[in-house]
Structures are given as structure tokens and as C-alpha cells.
Amino acid sequence: MNKTNKVTEKEVHEYLNTKSKQLKQSNQRYVDKKLVKTTTANLIAISQLQEVLNKVFCKDWYKLPKKSVKPKLYCARATNILLSDLHVGAHLDPQECPVEYKTIQESRRLGKVVSQVTNYKQQYRNESKLIIHLLGDVIQGQLHDLRDGDVYTYQYAATVYYLVQTILYCCQEYPQVEVYCTPGNHGRNVARHQHKAVFQKWDSIETMIYIAVKTAILNSGVTNCKFFIPKTPYYTVTIFDNKGFFTHGDTALFPGHPGHSINVNRLSQQVCKWNTARNIGGPFNIFGCGHIHVGSVINLPDGVTLITNGALVPPDPYSLSIGSPDNTCGQYIWESVEGHGVGDQRFIIVDGAEKDSKYNDIIKPFKGI
């Protein structure tokens, strides 16, 4: 080989360094371009959301009932309401699904729930606090299809609109209101959690909704309401001498398949694991979850009561696809006192509530932009 054509090791390094810098510059240009596009899209979404919220929450958008209760530091009774699987923004087409479910249906069904909550055991109202358990799937999301339900901006704005009305209305009836929040699977950010959210599940669209609702309530002048928004995929709560463990039901605790079955034996084993786990705060005698769209109260071994919540939304295309063409829609309410974690209970059935316009006086339908 001719010496003049021989490539030295130094020349190889210089050549590789030059190509590496060129490649890095090329990649950086691609990354910068992608970052600009992503940032622009996010800013547009935020701008649209702000525009919607400004129009929705205009001056005098909601007038509180002409009632006022005096806040109390201690209450001897607690009314519990599970609010889950509202699926706001589902917008079910009656040509595709058995039951229509749009703005009027979702607002009036929620209105019936709020009506029942505020009329529950009124003879004990002055000594009862209200605990609202927001257990996730408050929005339809776009979990199964990117065209599922209304656009995210509307789903977000409508859910904030409904939940703010719900809590403000209840704050005028109960001397104390506590709101506990956990996200579901429909409310996850599919851009980050394309599949089941197992890491930082709290980083979801529903958590953003809860924070917006909390801000709106606490800035409204209400003084008898407290919010709890933990980062764990569940939350625990002490109700007198009772302890409760609540989660959506797609992670942490698995009650069964939506609309299909509840495996009592498997649930007993799961409950035992949580009740013997260290550093969780148990043992718990009340477990509650949503997700399966079936309302039930199950008395498990060791004095544990499990409550599974129903849904406001009727069967959607996904439910039809898995062979669940019908369900009884509703939400669970019960009373807790010292010595009885789950006392008198009621399943608030909302089927047909959409035909009664009186519920518009409790929860105003979302009018959009």
C-alpha cells in the first residue's frame, strides 16, 4: 500500500468528530423544530381553554341558593357521596347507542344526585358534614378512540362547570364539606400514559380539573369546604373511628370487569393485603371504588364493607362492544357515625332524570362557547 494513501488514526478521529458535530446540529434542528411545534400547539390549546372558561365563568354565571349554614368545627355525623364515572362529554349518539347522553342528560342526572344529597336526612343536617368522594372518570376522555366524545377543551370546561356548581350548592346545605379526589383511567393524559397509568397516575387531565375546581371554590368566598388531592393512586380518610380506602378501580384495587362481574374471593384477598400493609394507614373497614359501572355494597370478611359505584353514563360504544348493552345508572350515598362506617345507604338511580327540567335549577347545562 502506498504510504501517501494511508489514513492515520488521528485523521479517523477528526473525521468522526466532524460528522458527529454535523449530525448533532442536524438533530438539534429537528428537535428545535419539533419543540416549537409542540409548544405552539400547547399554547393554542391553553388559549382555547382560557377562552372557553372566560365565557363559561362570566359574571353572575351561577347564583347560590338563598340559604346559608353556619360552618361547624365538629359534626357527629357524616354523609358520604361517591361521584365517579360521570363521563362528562361522552355525547352518545342515539343512532349508535341505546340511550342519548349529551349536555341535558349529563347535567340533569347530576342534578338529581345533588338534589338527593342535599335532601338526605335533613333532620340531622346541623350535625352532619358532607364528604364528597370524586373517584375518577369524571370525563369521557379519548381513551378508546381519538374521536371519542367531545373535544378535550369542552370536556374539561364542562366538568369544571358542573363540579363547581355541585360543590357550591352542597356548601349551602352542609356546615362542613370535604372533597377527596383521585383520577380514573378515562381522565388520564393519553399523550403520556398511552396505556394504564402506573407511574405518576396523578399527572392526568382529571387532576387538572380537580385543581381548577378547588381554586374556583376557595376563591368563591366559601369557608366551609376543604379539598384533598393526593398524589397516590388512592386516598385514605378517617371518618370518626372508621378508616376508608378509596380508589378508582383500574389500579391499586381491582373489583372486576366493567359491567361484567365482581370477584368477591379475589377482592377479599386484595383487601387483606392493603389491611396488613405497613405505612399505608390501615387497617380499613370501608373500601370504595368506581370503574365497573355497577352499584353494590358487599360485606366482606373481618367486618369490611366494599362499595362499588355506578355510573351516570349509559352504555357507550365500548360497553356495547364488550357485551354490556344495559346498566342501572346511579351513585351511592350513605351515612357514617361513630361505630358504623357504613350505616343507612341509598343507591341514587338517575335513569329518566333527564326528562325532568327541575334539575336545571340545581345544575345548569353547559352551553359551550
CB 307 within 8 A of CB 348: no
CB 141 within 8 A of CB 194: no
74: pLDDT confidence band, cut at 50, 70 and 90?
confident
Helix, strand, coil share (%) of the chain residues, nearest 5: 35, 20, 45
Of the listed ranges 15-19, 221-225, 267-271, 336-340, the least confidently predicted one is 15-19
Convert the pLDDT of each residue in 261-316 to its tens digit. Answer: 778 888 999 999 999 999 999 999 999 999 999 999 999 988 999 999 999 999 88
Of the listed ranges 219-223, 348-352, 355-359, the least confidently predicted one is 219-223
Residues 313 and 201: their CA atoms lie apart, in Å, by 23
Place of cell 391553553: 46
CATH topology of domain 65-361: Purple Acid Phosphatase; chain A, domain 2 (3.60.21)
Task: State the cell numbers at 339.
Answer: 361505630
Task: State the cell numbers at 226.
Answer: 376543604
Residue type, 180: Y
Which of these, 242, 348, 352, 368, lies nearest to 305 by C-alpha position?
A: 242
Task: State the cell numbers at 207.
Answer: 387532576
What pLDDT is recorded for position 1?
A: 47
DSSP character for 361? G
Residues 166 and 192: their CA atoms lie apart, in Å, by 30
67: pLDDT confidence band, cut at 50, 70 and 90?
low
Of the listed ranges 19-23, 92-96, 336-340, the least confidently predicted one is 19-23
More confident residue, 24 or 240: 240
Convert the pLDDT of each residue in 286-299 to its tens digit. Answer: 999 999 999 999 99
Angle between helix 152-171 and 9-56 (nearest 10): 50
Residues 261 and 271: their CA atoms lie apart, in Å, by 17
Domain ranges within the chain, ordered by starting residue: 1-56, 65-361
Query: How does 236-271 read in b/e, with b if 16+ C-beta sit within 10 Å?
Result: bbebeebbbbbbbbbbbbbbbebbeeeeeeebeebb
Angle at 213 between CA 107 and CA 108, to 5 degrees: 5
**C-alpha torsion 301→302→304→306, nearest 10:** -20
Strand 261-262 to strand 256-257: parallel, antiparallel, or no bridges (unpaired)?
antiparallel
What pLDDT is recorded for position 33?
A: 66
Convert the pLDDT of each residue in 137-160 to its tens digit. Answer: 999 888 878 778 888 899 999 999
Angle at 150 between CA 145 and CA 154, to 5 degrees: 135
Convert the pLDDT of each residue in 224-256 to its tens digit. Answer: 999 999 999 999 999 999 999 999 999 999 988
Distance of CA 229 to the CA centre of its chain: 11
Which of these, 312, 270, 308, 274, lies nearest to 291 by C-alpha position?
A: 308
Q: How many C-beta neighbours within 10 Å does residue 30 have? A: 10
Convert the pLDDT of each residue in 156-214 to its tens digit. Answer: 999 999 999 999 999 999 999 999 999 999 998 888 888 889 899 999 999 999 999 99
Residues 83 and 282: their CA atoms lie apart, in Å, by 23
**C-alpha torsion 261→264→270→271, nearest 10:** 130
Q: Kindly report the average pLDDT of the chain as a whole number.
A: 88
CB 307 within 8 A of CB 322: no
Compute the residue count for the chain: 369
Task: State the cell numbers at 336.
Answer: 357514617
- Beta bridge mates, 297: 307
Q: Considering Cα of 350, then 351, then 353, then 354, what sign does the dihedral take?
A: positive
Which of these, 80, 50, 81, 9, lies nearest to 239 by C-alpha position?
A: 80
Task: State the cell numbers at 38.
Answer: 409542540
41: pLDDT confidence band, cut at 50, 70 and 90?
low
What pLDDT is recorded for position 137?
A: 96
What pLDDT is recorded for position 49?
A: 67
CA within 13 Å, CB half, 125: 15
pLDDT of 3 above 60:
no
Residues 53 and 156: their CA atoms lie apart, in Å, by 9
Which pTM was predicted?
Answer: 0.82
pLDDT of 45 above 80:
no
